[in-house]
Amino acid sequence: MPELAVEWDPPLRYRPGARERLCGIQVFYDFPWLQLFPDQRTQFRHGRVLAETTRQRCPGGLTPALLLTRRRDVDQGFAQTDEHFYCVVNIDEYTTAEGDAATAYIANHLGVGLEEVQSLQELSQLGSPEEVQALLEQHLNIEQVIAWIREDDERLERLIEVLELTGGAATVEQALDSLAGLASLEDEDLQRLLEFTIRLTNRDQRTELIRGATSDPEGRGAASQVLHERVGERIADAHRDLAAYEALLETGATETAMQAFLTQHPLLFGLEYASISPQVRGPSGSMDFILERFDGYNDLVELKGPADKIIRSPKRKAGKGVPSPHKYSLSKPLAQALAQAMAYRDRLTRHPQAAEELYGIENPRNPVVLVILGCVGDLEDHQKLVLEELNRSLHRVQVLPYDVLALRTRAALEHIAEFLSLAPAADDAVDT
């Protein structure tokens, strides 16, 4: 789990920022998240412009982050450690700022020029729809608006978010009347509507659309048909994800980078999982991942670094036998991860009602725990045997090196392709 190397009281917690509203930035905070944000999403009012400002200012080689606090005895603004460039923000003061007041907050507290903030404000819709409309009317003509939209497809989505449905009930009624005619669309018009929807929706929004479309038997039947038709493409998607994962692993990526990648590509954990939730708070603290199985129960993932050692022992010398058993030991990261995993599982299993009622973790009893660290390719053969014996002796816990995770995923994809008589898929080139 990412850590911010600063002394802070109360201790800092971590969440990855929402991809759309907080640009996926790392977020550290010193208060119970649900105390301020009951829906659990890692986003907040005016958050995007703050995240963009921090990312824009972040020097090369450092990771941008936000430090959200309710303390009033600390200096707000930018600071940095050896690994992070972060912005300290009083969350109460910031989220209650309105429109221009939020702009002034960034300019006054963060030392960012007002002109720079206003530019970010336009891109992020800081303020109410009326304020954004007034800004556009005062400073842009229609030709400039069209040119601005053409530079970035996402801007069309942003404009619609702040401009549509501002005409009151009549506009809503007209929109609903128009939607009522979708059933009679010609195939060509339906295709145009689909392309339009794809451009204007992110992953979370499409998930909601699919949930709505599969809320009745007819929709679920249609979804099954489409999934069958798309299985070859889904396998190809998975191969591309796997190639990107292996390329990232070869670069010597950090635990933080691997965690961010796995958050977006849960298929790597296994086909038995329906969804993934990173940085979930529970009775035992913050867990790296909770994986929801298709049967509704949850498993846990404890993540360490790809470069961490797994088994420690002297190297085997040429012409010599393997080291004596008393010279083997579990690495410190592995020993710590196993102890954490046991504590997580114990507390979830002993306090299932609290986990479900207070933290929203359903069916938490006796989860399987995956401890992911190191690479088996870094082990000598006699060390690999020790790891194999360790995994055979553990109950509902598996130590899984990062490269084995890739090998396991590739084997599963090849097995599926063979079973479905699909042509072997070559991994697409990964952009660097």
Residues 205-264: tens digit of each pLDDT: 777 778 888 888 888 888 888 877 887 888 888 888 899 999 999 988 888 888 888 888
The C-alpha atoms of residue 3 and residue 304 are separated, in whole angstroms, by 12
- Smallest CA-to-CA distance from 91 within 43, 153, 137, 127 is with 43
Contacts (Cβ under 8 Å, ≥6 apart) of 85: 54, 57, 58, 59, 62, 63, 64, 65, 78, 79
pTM over 0.95: no
The C-alpha atoms of residue 278 and residue 66 are separated, in whole angstroms, by 18
Q: What is the pLDDT at residue 20?
A: 77
Q: How many CB atoms lie within 10 A of CB 181?
A: 9
Q: Taking residues 290-307, what's their average pLDDT? A: 86
Q: Which of 117-121, 147-151, 397-401 has the lowest mean pLDDT?
A: 117-121
Cα 369-374-378 angle, rounded to 5 deg: 140
- With 90 as the cut, is the pLDDT of residue 134 above it? no
91 close to 29: Cβ distance less than 8 angstroms: yes
341 pLDDT tier (thresholds 50, 70, 90): confident
85 close to 58: Cβ distance less than 8 angstroms: yes
- With 90 as the cut, is the pLDDT of residue 343 above it? no
- With 70 as the cut, is the pLDDT of residue 284 above it? no
Q: Which of 37-41, 149-153, 213-217, 229-233 has the lowest mean pLDDT?
A: 149-153
Strands (E), 81-224: 84-90
424 pLDDT tier (thresholds 50, 70, 90): low
44 pLDDT tier (thresholds 50, 70, 90): confident
- Tell me which residue has tokens 């128009």: 178
The C-alpha atoms of residue 364 and residue 356 are separated, in whole angstroms, by 8
Question: From the centroid of its chain, how far is CA 294?
Answer: 20
Q: What is the pLDDT at residue 430?
A: 44
b/e per residue 118-143 (b: at least 16 CB within 10 A):
bebbbebbbbeeebbeebbeeeeeee
46 pLDDT tier (thresholds 50, 70, 90): confident
Q: What is the pLDDT at residue 48?
A: 83
- With 60 as the cut, is the pLDDT of residue 141 above it? no
Pairing of strands 63-69, 84-90: parallel
Domains and CATH numbers, the chain: 13-127 (no CATH), 253-419 (3.40.1350.10)
41 close to 79: Cβ distance less than 8 angstroms: no
| Mean of the per-residue pLDDT values of the chain | 77
399 pLDDT tier (thresholds 50, 70, 90): very high
Express as a percent the part of the chain with pLDDT over 70. Answer: 72
The C-alpha atoms of residue 331 and residue 387 are separated, in whole angstroms, by 11
The C-alpha atoms of residue 89 and residue 54 are separated, in whole angstroms, by 11
Q: What is the pLDDT at residue 407?
A: 92
Tell me 31's DSSP state: S
Q: What is the pLDDT at residue 307?
A: 92
Higher pLDDT, 51 or 131: 51
313 pLDDT tier (thresholds 50, 70, 90): very high
Q: Taking residues 171-191, what's their average pLDDT? A: 56
DSSP 94-123: HHT--THHHHHHHHHHH---HHHHHHHHHH
Q: What is the pLDDT at residue 415?
A: 84
- With 60 as the cut, is the pLDDT of residue 426 above it? no
- Tell me which residue has tokens 């940085």: 279
317 pLDDT tier (thresholds 50, 70, 90): confident
Q: Taking residues 287-301, what's their average pLDDT? A: 82
23 pLDDT tier (thresholds 50, 70, 90): confident
Largest CA distance in the chain: 87
Q: What is the pLDDT at residue 201?
A: 64
Give the DSSP H/E element, type plus range, for residue 279.
Answer: strand 273-282
